[in-house]
Amino acid sequence: MKHAIYKFIYTKVLGWKAILNVSMPPKCVICAAPHTSNLDLFIGKLFYGTIGYKTSFMMKKDWFFFPLGLFFKSAGGIPVDRSRKTSLVDQMVKVFNSKEKFHLAITPEGTRKANPNWKKGFYHIAIKAQVPIVLIGIDYEKKIIEAGKMIIPSGNIEEDLREIKQYFSKFKGKYPENFSLGTY
């Protein structure tokens, strides 16, 4: 029932198309880009429900106040405190190790502004948790979200990031000027 509701809203009401070109593993890090608007979370959650999966995401703990906190937690939100000296990578690896199925969506830019220096936490989480990275691109111009590629991290972060950035070069965020691939 939930799946049908997600699909109806995503495709019929909003007019978006879901493209799934990879077989989704039980556990993976979802690298989602470009992230240029707060709407990306809403559209992304609808996409994920449309393809029949659940996903979690990390979000600043500041957003988890009542009543928004209840909504974000029910939507798969994991509050994180960036000011603490604890390793987010290790925290997420523990979550991966404790679950049979777990998809963690991360935006590599780490912000909705243009950032050519992508955060590498998603990559380190995938390496330590020994899970693949699924690349999901959002394109507002074409009104599509595409799960189009799966990467098994090699340990050569520069080479793997180059491949990841090349994949995302074809997508246009809501505010394209706020997306930067930097050099690759």
Q: Does residue 181 form part of some domain? A: no
Q: What is the DSSP letter of 13?
A: I
Q: Does residue 121 form part of some domain? A: yes
Q: What is the mean pLDDT of residues 126-151?
A: 97
Domain residue limits at 51: 2-176
Q: Does residue 183 form part of some domain? A: no
Indicate if the pLDDT at residue 87 is higher than 90: no
Say how far apart CA 32 and CA 168 lie, in whole Å: 9
| Three-state secondary-structure class, residue 159 | helix
Tell me the pTM.
0.90
Indicate if the pLDDT at residue 110 is higher than 90: no
DSSP characters over 25-62: PSEEEEEEE---STHHHHHHHHHHHHTT---EEEEEGG
Indicate if the pLDDT at residue 85 is higher than 70: no
Q: What is the mean pLDDT of residues 89-96?
A: 91
Q: Does residue 182 form part of some domain? A: no
Number of domains in the chain: 1
**What pLDDT does residue 84 have?**
65
Instruction: Check if the beta carbon of residue 119 is closer than 8 Å to that of residue 109.
Output: yes
Q: What are the backbone dihedrals phi and psi of residue 137, each rounded to the nearest 5 degrees, phi first?
A: -105, 140
Q: Does residue 184 form part of some domain? A: no
- DSSP lists the bridge partners of residue 98 as none
Say how far apart CA 121 and CA 110 lie, in whole Å: 10
**What pLDDT does residue 100 have?**
95
Write the pLDDT tens digit of every residue in 26-70. 999 999 999 999 899 899 999 999 999 999 988 888 889 898 888
Q: What is the DSSP letter of 102?
A: E
**What pLDDT does residue 180 have?**
87
What share of the chain has pLDDT > 90, as a percent? 68
